[in-house]
Amino acid sequence: MKKATLVHPLMSEAFLIWLEKLGYKGVARAGVISFYHEINNRNFPRGVMILENGRLNRPAAKLFEEFKKHDPFNEVA
């Protein structure tokens, strides 16, 4: 089993704000936050989900890696 890497809470909050700025709309239900975008292409994947235990599915992890490249918090990340 792969060891979980913890992310600073401010980084998680900033990621959610970044997703909303990109145009994703979040829907919370049954312990899962799903994000939807009107445009469907490689740059805006569909089915972005964050589970209640903080795990990201594959599209969300891909977007999070792209988010980390922007380096929003130099000293925190």
Q: Write down the pLDDT at residue 76.
A: 52
Residue 31, both tokens: 């312990």
Q: Write down the pLDDT at residue 74.
A: 65
> What average pLDDT score do residues 63-76 get?
77
Q: Which residue has the tokens 């929003």?
A: 72
Give the Cα-Cα-Cα angle 34, 39, 40 (nearest 5 degrees): 80
* Range in 9-18, 28-37, 64-73 the model is least confident about: 64-73
User: What are the extents of the domains in the chain?
Assistant: 27-70
Listed in sequence order, the residues at least 6 apart from 77 whose beta carbon sits closer than 8 Å to its beta carbon are 8, 11, 68, 71
pLDDT above 70: percentage of residues in the chain: 91
Listed in sequence order, the residues at least 6 apart from 64 whose beta carbon sits closer than 8 Å to its beta carbon are 15, 56
